[in-house]
Amino acid sequence: MLLPEPRTRAGQAGLAALLADPARALVAVDFDGTLAPIVERPEDARPAPGAVDALRTLAGRVGVVAVVSARAATDVVALGGLDAVPGLWVLGHYGLERWLDGRLDSPEVSGAVGLARPLLAAIVAAAPDGVHLEDKHHSLVIHTRPAADGAAALSALTPGVRAVADEVGLEAVPGRLVIELRPRGIDKGTALYSLAVDRAAGAVVYVGDDLGDLPAFDAVDRLRGEGVAGLTVASVDPGVGDTPREPADRADLVLAGPVEVVGFLLDLAAAIGEP
């Protein structure tokens, strides 16, 4: 077992702080593209082999382990079999929802989402074959990956989707061949920062792969400024051609997709050792 060395001094300090005091550490990971390989249909996503065991092992050795996702918390739990990990926090809908040991805390759905739903449905109805709308209750996502030219379809649809967001008071957020409408001011950075403060974390690790994970990287930077050591990790699957470069450019450490992420989590647990 040999942990990869972060390429920045700040990342090296974050990893060292976690290993020195794991009981006060927070390790948070994204789901799609990080724990689970990217797939054409969101409902087909499953964790990479060994991911649940890695989370379970790590959860017994660090203070807090969390999965932070754009999906509904209960969907992530069901798709990933994450109820098999005692004490795991699942922050769904960018932190709007919190799930812990079977208990879900979730706010009322914004009325703006209901206003946007038929407007987006009309946009999708006129879009190229394969483009579809995913209704996540707290947010709405247009997927263009199944289209013949997903990138071109996304580019063509984006102005209209942004206009809908402005009209109803939502935020339009791009991702990997998706664009999502969600309540303003909600992101993974807010979710990560809040959990770190709530749990009095002494070190924070965040692993993500997409544009939606950049606010969590920002949160790690903010925590560093407040004296909390941190490590940012990018999951970059070489087999997926539409991976955005920004997470890799920003991260202290880059791993080659979910398989390497699982290996990193297992190696991290082994480096900490038995509690």
* 30 is an active site residue: yes
CA 264 to each of CA 10, 29, 83, 178: distance values in angstroms, whole numbers, following the listed order: 18, 12, 21, 28
24-60 burial by CB neighbour count: b if 16+ within 10 A, else e?
Answer: bbbbbbbbbbbbbbbeeebeebebbeebbbbbbbbbe
Q: Which of 30, 75, 187, 210 is catalytic?
A: 30
| Closest-CA residue to 186 (of 174, 171, 165, 176) | 171
The helix or strand, by DSSP H or E, that contains position 26, with its residue range, turns out to be strand 25-29
Q: What does the DSSP 8-state code read for residue 215?
A: H
**β-strand pairing of 140-143 with 178-182:** antiparallel
Burial of 130 (0-12, 13-18, 19+ CB in 10 A): middle
Token pair recorded at residue 246:
């920004």
CA 273 to each of CA 49, 108, 182: distance values in angstroms, whole numbers, following the listed order: 22, 42, 41
Contact 262, 226 (CB under 8 A): no
The helix or strand, by DSSP H or E, that contains position 204, with its residue range, turns out to be strand 203-208
Contact 178, 151 (CB under 8 A): no
User: In the beta sheet, which residues pair with residue 207?
Assistant: 29, 233
Among all residues, which ones are annotated catalytic?
30
